[in-house]
Amino acid sequence: MAKIKFYAERCKGCGLCVLVCPHGNIRMSTELNETGHPYAVLVDPARCTHCALCGRMCPDMAIEIDDPKTSKKDKSGKPRE
């Protein structure tokens, strides 16, 4: 099962991910992170299709997706042939 991760400490709160999410499934937090920015959070993990549009638009690499199906690495972290 694919899993999406938001790194709150890297987020600068620009909100580009909120704009491009095709399901409107990302919102900005009401709290601030340690650098003083609001950060992106997933509204409903079940509705996320792991399309990675948010990650592609994120200027700060604050979003990563683990997907064992399309991963180029196997479980031990070695590159797949």
Partner 1 sequence: MDFHRPETLKDAPTHYCPGCGHGIVHRLVAEVIDELGIRQRTIGTAPVGCAVLLYDYFNCDIIECAHGRPPAVATGIKRMLPDRILFTYQGDGDLAAIGTAETIHAANRGENITVIFVNNAIYGMTGGQMAPTTMIGQWSTTTPDGRGQYAEGGPIKVCEMLSALDGVCYLERVSVSSPKDVMNARKAIKKAFENQIAEKGFSLVEVLSMCPTDWKLPPEKAMDFVNEKMKKVFPLGVYKDRSGGRHE
Return all residues near 5 (Cβ < 8 A) that are at least 6 apart. 63, 64, 65, 66
Binding-site size, partner 1 (CB under 8 A):
31
Q: Could you tell me which stretch among 6-14, 23-31, 40-48 binds partner 1 (CB under 8 A)?
A: 6-14
Query: Which residue of 14, 28, 41, 43 would you call a contact of partner 1, by CB under 8 A?
Result: 14
Site of interaction with partner 1 (CB under 8 A): 2, 10, 12-16, 19-20, 37, 50-53, 55-61, 63-72
